[in-house]
């Protein structure tokens, strides 16, 4: 039978954002996948030409809603390095708390969408029900549910009172207890394993060669997590990267499931070690020089390159998001996949197209 | 994680250096293009267990730039994006969208995708 070319996306029931893949299939088995991008390219790097370096905090938060806090923290880190700003330790740990809350809500969002993708509607709803508890924490502590805008150049704009910290810890205990119940379904249920095990296999060698990062890389056995470098407040916390070795969709799901538990632990550690003191410092002058900063987003490694020449506008703001790096690995996962399983494999990298195209 | 070390490299040595890094087990993180007059400066970011190498190469925008996608396949997406954004062309690119990675060919517009120029105003002065 002659090969058949099938368009997948940009609108598809399992895709929260528009990505288009041109799939070549033979007997309903994918033999080749080519990406088509551009549905939500917004030219955000170009916007750096007309927004000053303080305003850009709000711009980078909108690169991706789901991990907005980490975008802003990474950008702020770059400007602070250029301006030799010493961020107070309390601000560092507050950034960690809100970043990890973002990771939890992002992973819970993905776990729900993944369950929906393989047809487990009640699991999707239960996951998102738990996620609401985390959204409530963000709303109560930052005033917003998703784009929380807590980061500024020089620290953070909001503090947590001792009562809020105690309340967050009790919410986490509650959420963790219910989340572990769901873990039995995500990790042990027959139908979940049937749809995800052996799907979209990416070997460690291939993942590394193609530049896979985050849970996509760690699901293939690459033990690399930028938080290990100890940026921001992570140097004060104990953790090991979560790694699985099977390289399939189930392994990537398991990494994210375990990372939610790890984030609960990191938030507890950060709250228990939160020192007294200032939450930001006054910023004077303009940035000058060039710097590269990296951080770990829910989807993987984020890189910012910033160049400035002592003016309020930057000369260049370059953003490399994790999904952009995980597109070539996705193209390597798809050949050999049955057409019916393509949505599960595509979802397994947790694609964020807003991030990818910026 | 803060990184400031960027090494300048002659464009003629690019392929040799990238091949060496590949053989030593470095991962290509990304490439950061910066427009400097008629030149395009590209910073190549590599990583191996958090040990980073950043190479700065300056190239002439009006002649085809050397692709590294033959060494690191994943570079094809980055180089296609650079073609779209800066209206340049890469030679030896393993999968080229011809300046239409983001913009559909039927739109009839050729890269650079953002052809509009934005002028900075500082204190009311252009």
**Interface pTM, i.e. ipTM:** 0.89
> What is the token pair recorded at A280?
């930001």
Residue B69 lies in a domain: yes
Q: Least CB-CB distance to B27: which of A34, A41, A211?
A: A211
The pLDDT > 70 percentage for chain B reads 84
pLDDT of residue B118: 58
| pLDDT at A250 > cutoff 90 | yes
How many A-B residue pairs are in contact by the CB < 8 A criterion? Answer: 100
Residue A283 lies in a domain: yes
pLDDT of residue B1: 75
| pLDDT at B108 > cutoff 70 | no
Nearest to A145 by CA among A136, A155, A154: A136
Residue B91 lies in a domain: yes
Residue A349 lies in a domain: no
Nearest CA in chain B to A294: B1
Q: Which domain holds residue A269?
A: 41-333
| pLDDT at B98 > cutoff 90 | no
How many structural domains is chain A composed of? 1
Q: What is the pLDDT of residues A26-51, one digit of tens each?
A: 988 999 998 888 888 888 888 888 88
Asked if B44 is an interface residue toward chain A (Cβ–Cβ < 8 A), one would say no
Average pLDDT over residues A135-154: 92
Q: What is the pLDDT of residues A54-103, one digit of tens each?
A: 999 999 999 887 888 999 999 999 999 999 999 999 999 999 999 999 99
Q: Least CB-CB distance to A43: which of B72, B77, B114?
A: B114
Asked if A34 is an interface residue toward chain B (Cβ–Cβ < 8 A), one would say yes
Residue A21 lies in a domain: no
Residue A237 confidence class, pLDDT cut points 50, 70, 90: very high
Residue B113 lies in a domain: no
CATH number, domain with residue B103: 3.30.460.80
Asked if A43 is an interface residue toward chain B (Cβ–Cβ < 8 A), one would say yes
Residue B2 lies in a domain: no
Contact yes or no for B29 and A320 at CB 8 A: yes
Residue A166 lies in a domain: yes
Q: Which domain holds residue B77?
A: 7-107
Residue A20 lies in a domain: no
Asked if B49 is an interface residue toward chain A (Cβ–Cβ < 8 A), one would say yes
Residue A18 lies in a domain: no
Distance from CA of A281 to the nearest CA of B (A): 19
Average pLDDT over residues B19-38: 92
Q: How far is CA A264 from CA A65, A158, A171, A226, A239, in A?
A: 21, 21, 10, 18, 11
Cβ(A78)–Cβ(A306) under 8 Å? yes
Residue A353 lies in a domain: no
| pLDDT at A188 > cutoff 70 | yes
pLDDT of residue A288: 93
pLDDT of residue B111: 60
Residue B86 lies in a domain: yes
How many structural domains is chain B composed of? 1
CATH number, domain with residue A284: 1.10.645.10
Q: How far is CA A183 from CA A188, B53, B80, in A?
A: 8, 40, 41
Asked if B73 is an interface residue toward chain A (Cβ–Cβ < 8 A), one would say yes
Residue A204 lies in a domain: yes
* pLDDT averaged over every residue in chain A: 91
Residue B124 lies in a domain: no
pLDDT of residue B122: 60
């Amino acid at each position: 039978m002659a090969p058949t070319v099938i368009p997948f996306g940009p609108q598809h029931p399992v895709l929260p954002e528009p990505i288009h893949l041109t799939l070549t299939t033979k007997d309903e088995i994918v033999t080749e996948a080519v990406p088509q991008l551009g549905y939500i390219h917004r030219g955000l790097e170009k916007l750096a030409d007309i927004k000053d370096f303080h305003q850009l905090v709000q711009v980078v938060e909108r690169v991706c809603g789901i991990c907005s806090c980490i975008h802003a923290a990474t950008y702020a880190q770059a400007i602070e390095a250029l301006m030799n700003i010493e961020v107070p330790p309390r601000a560092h740990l507050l950034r960690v708390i809100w970043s990890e809350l973002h990771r939890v809500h992002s992973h819970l969002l993905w776990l729900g969408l993944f369950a929906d993708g393989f047809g487990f509607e009640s699991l999707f709803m239960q996951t998102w029900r738990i996620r609401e508890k985390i959204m409530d924490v963000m709303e109560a502590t930052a005033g917003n549910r998703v784009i929380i805008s807590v980061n500024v150049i020089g620290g953070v704009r909001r503090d947590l009172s001792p009562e809020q910290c105690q309340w967050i810890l009790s919410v986490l205990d509650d959420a963790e207890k219910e989340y572990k119940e769901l873990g039995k379904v995500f990790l042990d249920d027959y139908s979940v394993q049937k749809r995800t095990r052996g799907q979209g296999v990416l070997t460690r060698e291939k993942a590394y060669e193609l530049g896979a990062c985050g849970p996509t890389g760690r699901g293939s056995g690459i033990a690399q997590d930028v938080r290990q470098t100890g940026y921001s407040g992570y140097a004060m916390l104990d953790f090991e990267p979560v790694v699985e070795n099977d390289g399939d969709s189930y392994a990537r799901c398991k990494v994210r499931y375990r990372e939610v538990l790890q984030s609960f632990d990191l938030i507890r550690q950060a709250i228990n070690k939160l020192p007294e003191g200032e939450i930001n410092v006054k910023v004077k002058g303009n940035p000058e020089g060039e710097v590269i900063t990296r951080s770990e987003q829910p989807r993987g490694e984020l890189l910012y390159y910033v160049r400035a020449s002592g003016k309020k506008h930057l000369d260049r703001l370059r953003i490399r998001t994790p999904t952009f790096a995980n597109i070539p690995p996705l193209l390597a996962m798809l050949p050999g996949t049955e057409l019916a399983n393509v949505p599960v494999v595509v979802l397994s990298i947790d694609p964020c197209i807003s991030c990818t195209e910026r | 994680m803060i990184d400031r070390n960027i090494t300048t490299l002659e464009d003629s040595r690019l392929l040799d250096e990238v091949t060496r890094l590949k053989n030593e087990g470095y991962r290509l993180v990304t490439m950061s293009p910066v427009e400097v007059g008629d030149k395009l400066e590209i910073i190549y970011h590599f990583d191996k267990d958090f040990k980073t190498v950043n190479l700065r190469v300056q190239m002439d925008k009006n002649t085809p730039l050397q692709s590294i996608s033959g060494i690191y396949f994943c570079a094809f997406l980055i180089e296609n994006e650079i073609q779209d954004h800066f209206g340049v062309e890469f030679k030896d690119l393993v999968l080229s969208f011809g300046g239409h990675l983001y913009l559909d060919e039927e739109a009839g517009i050729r890269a650079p995708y953002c052809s509009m120029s934005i002028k900075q105003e500082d204190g009311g002065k252009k």
